[in-house]
Amino acid sequence: MRSTIVISAIDTHTEGMPTRVITGGVGTIPGDTMAAKRIHFAEHLDGLRRLLVNEPRGHASMSGAILQQATTGDGHYGVLFIEVSGLLPMCGHGTIGVATALVEAGMVPVTEPVTEIRLDTPAGRVVASVAVGGGHADSVTLRNVPAYCDSLDNEVEVPGLGPVRYDMAYGGNFYAIVDLGKLGLPFDRAHKDRILDAGLRIMAAVNEFRRPVHPVDERIAGCKHVLFLDPASEPAHTRHAMAIHPGWFDRSPCGTGTSALLARQHARGLLADDQVLQNDSFIGTTFYARAVETTTVGDRPAVVPAITGRAWVTGTANYLLDPTDPFPEGFVF
Ligand code: PYC
């Protein structure tokens, strides 16, 4: 076999959603912080992301995480989150996949019953506490970056849909939170194409109307995610469909989306201080979320979310690129 690159990976899924954890072959990405590395990677190395997530090595809903040396003194690793739409500041299901892979592969000192892993991400420090039994990762509780509610009861005119009400919240990415029932759409995967179409229209309209910008780090901006709440949801037990740019649904309950929803439920007074939020994905898998601290982001009240979910290793691989391969960056079908 001949190849111009060899990229090693541990493939995982978190409650149904893939994370290709890249453990070697990328080298050190320039930048003092993960946020700086994210910008450098997007500007100079994005072909590598496309090679790893696009067809034929990936697919239209693929995501991954590139491990780097930590950029802080006490971090275990730094992580860049890649997916079909680009590089995310933070990814919850991806972090749960990374933490599971690191424990299962023995890439961190493993202690039972809990192994704590400190990760540097472009959105800031996150800590994964992995419940370990018999040397195996059983579940992961992620202490995420602070989540806050940007605004409630916005209304935007959406071509083809008319006026749409939404709340905007941040949990590592920005999320427009929309009641699916108000659009007259059923919470049913048989209608996924219509729901996705509505999600993409809403994203475009929201970004034009009032593009969200993180108050402390303006490199984090824009809304690429619409969280459609099932109208049958209860305040502490929600079900949702997460539509993501450029046109796919999260299979997991979306860690940063669950964090944003937690902040929104608190901002609406729908949860008691440390009440657990059960958040189910479009395929019926679950994350549990809880505010473990209150804080601020800029001048906004915020909560520190702890998100619990599970991931499983699905394979290990070396990804190659033959010099005659006509698709050196894969392709989108
Ligand atoms: O789990 O945070 C998440 C996530 C973001 C996009 C897809 N999953």
User: Closest by alpha carbon to 256, among 84, 120, 97, 94?
Assistant: 94
- Structure confidence at residue 144 as a pLDDT band (50, 70, 90): very high
Query: Which DSSP state fits 221?
Result: B
Whether the CB-CB separation of 10 and 316 falls below 8 Å is answered with yes
Please indicate whether residue 58, judged by its CB atom, sits closer than 6 Å to ligand 1.
Answer: no
Can you give the pLDDT at residue 298? 96
Can you give the pLDDT at residue 251? 98
Ligand 1 centroid from CA 181, angstroms: 23
Both 170 and 258 in a single domain?
Answer: yes
- Structure confidence at residue 152 as a pLDDT band (50, 70, 90): very high
- Structure confidence at residue 56 as a pLDDT band (50, 70, 90): very high
Neighbours of 108 (CB within 10 A): 17
Can you give the pLDDT at residue 285? 98
Contacts of 188 (CB under 8 A, 6+ apart): none
- Looking at the domain assignment, is residue 61 inside a domain? yes
Query: Which residues are part of the catalytic machinery?
Result: 91, 254
Q: What does the mean pLDDT of the chain come to?
A: 98
Both 77 and 106 in a single domain?
Answer: yes
Q: pLDDT tens digits for 195-239? A: 999 999 999 999 999 999 999 999 999 999 999 999 999 999 999
The helix (run of H) or strand (run of E) holding residue 23 is: strand 17-24
Q: Tell me the H-state helices in the chain.
A: 34-44, 46-53, 92-104, 192-210, 255-267
Neighbours of 326 (CB within 10 A): 6
Both 248 and 220 in a single domain?
Answer: yes
- Looking at the domain assignment, is residue 86 inside a domain? yes
Both 159 and 290 in a single domain?
Answer: yes
- Looking at the domain assignment, is residue 84 inside a domain? yes
Both 189 and 116 in a single domain?
Answer: no
Both 212 and 239 in a single domain?
Answer: yes
Output the residue whose Cα is nearest ligand 1's atom 5.
91
- Looking at the domain assignment, is residue 235 inside a domain? yes
Domain that holds residue 28: 5-127+312-321
Can you give the pLDDT at residue 325? 98
Whether the CB-CB separation of 144 and 306 falls below 8 Å is answered with yes
Ligand 1 centroid from CA 324, angstroms: 34
Please indicate whether residue 214, judged by its CB atom, sits closer than 6 Å to ligand 1.
Answer: no
Q: pLDDT tens digits for 255-310? A: 999 999 999 999 999 999 999 999 999 999 999 999 999 999 999 999 999 999 99
Ligand 1 centroid from CA 97, angstroms: 11
Which of 15, 19, 63, 84 to probe ligand 1 with, by most ligand atoms within 8 A of CB? 63
Ligand 1 centroid from CA 59, angstroms: 16
Q: What is the spatial distance between Cα 120 and Cα 113, in angstroms, rounded to a whole number?
A: 23
Cis peptide before 113 (omega within 30 of 0): yes
Both 62 and 173 in a single domain?
Answer: no
- Looking at the domain assignment, is residue 160 inside a domain? yes
Please indicate whether residue 64, judged by its CB atom, sits closer than 6 Å to ligand 1.
Answer: no
Q: pLDDT tens digits for 100-127? A: 999 999 999 999 999 999 999 999 999 9
Encoded tokens for 312: 């499983």
The domain that contains 113 carries what CATH number? 3.10.310.10
State what percent of residues in the chain have pLDDT above 90.
100
Both 45 and 96 in a single domain?
Answer: yes
- Looking at the domain assignment, is residue 330 inside a domain? no
- Looking at the domain assignment, is residue 132 inside a domain? no
Both 286 and 316 in a single domain?
Answer: no
Whether the CB-CB separation of 4 and 325 falls below 8 Å is answered with no
Please indicate whether residue 147, judged by its CB atom, sits closer than 6 Å to ligand 1.
Answer: no
Q: Which atom of ligand 1 is nearest to the CA of 94?
A: 1
Provide the domain count of the chain: 2
- Looking at the domain assignment, is residue 230 inside a domain? yes
Cis peptide before 246 (omega within 30 of 0): yes
Q: Using DSSP, state whether 181 is helix, strand or coil.
A: helix
Can you give the pLDDT at residue 319? 98
Ligand 1 centroid from CA 81, angstroms: 9
Both 73 and 200 in a single domain?
Answer: no
Which of 248, 256, 262, 286 to probe ligand 1 with, by most ligand atoms within 8 A of CB? 256
Q: Which atom of ligand 1 is nearest to the CA of 14?
A: 1
Both 96 and 153 in a single domain?
Answer: no
Both 292 and 158 in a single domain?
Answer: yes
Output the residue whose Cα is nearest ligand 1's atom 8.
254
- 300 has which bridge partners? 297
Query: Which DSSP state fits 54?
Result: S
